[in-house]
Structure 1
């Protein structure tokens, strides 16, 4: 793998982690008013976790 491709892969990981941190900081500030909003927040966390796991599996050849 060329050094430019490695740099792109590392930059992608950094961008994804920044987005995840921003999302979680946003979720911490939200005041839920009913159970549906809490369920939506749980679904968001689940989807982000699954997407990070799939990216990790793809990069490590686990699939």
Structure 2
């Protein structure tokens, strides 16, 4: 049985339970979100995208 779950839903679910269980301070959550947003517009963005795609392929057992 194959379950198709959008990545954003998985990230939201992990984020929700992470915040509920670990109780990080609000400033840390904002800092991480802002840092990720700003990092996406740097020269590191292609490397992050490639690493993310490789991780998804490993989890899905797919190859190019």
The TM tier, using the shorter chain, reads 0.3 to 0.5
Q: Which has the higher helix share?
A: 1
| Rg larger for | 1
Q: Which has the higher contact order (CA 8 A, sep 6+)?
A: 1
